[in-house]
Amino acid sequence: MRQIPVDTTGATVMVAKAPQPKLKDRRTGEIALDTETGAKLMTVDVMFAANNEVEILSLTVPETGVSEELVMGMPVALTGLVARPWENEFNGQKRHGIAFRAVAVTSLVAAGSASKAA
């Protein structure tokens, strides 16, 4: 599958919605797993601001790559962000879009919080 690396330098990225488990099947509540590692997958919505434009991106991230302390409005760094075009057909309707996946979503305020706690 074609993957397009996304350059995040010069972008401001903040958590728009706290991480949630990614569902494989909404009817059964089954959680999606990474096919290569078996890790539970999470969905993290982020505000991505660059070039005077802002978008909300929904990222798929392995649970091991999500900082525990992520809350709405928190600035974060995205590691290994890629975009994957997708297309499918359901009930005769063609759909397409871009899926975003990251290796990790890391808080940029964790170091400051840790030093205050010490």
Does position 116 have pLDDT exceeding 70, yes or no? Answer: no
Q: Once rounded to an integer, what is the mean pLDDT over residues 12-29?
A: 93
Q: Once rounded to an integer, what is the mean pLDDT over residues 80-104?
A: 93
pLDDT at 109: 85
Q: Once rounded to an integer, what is the mean pLDDT over residues 52-73?
A: 94
Q: Once rounded to an integer, what is the mean pLDDT over residues 5-20?
A: 95
- Which pTM was predicted? 0.83
Q: What is the pLDDT of residues 39-51, one digit of tens each?
A: 999 999 999 999 9
d(CA 86, CA 63): 23
Where would I find the beta strands (DSSP E) of the chain?
A: 4-5, 12-21, 23-25, 30-31, 41-50, 53-62, 76-79, 82-90, 93-101, 104-107
d(CA 46, CA 21): 15
Does position 110 have pLDDT exceeding 60, yes or no? Answer: no
d(CA 10, CA 15): 17
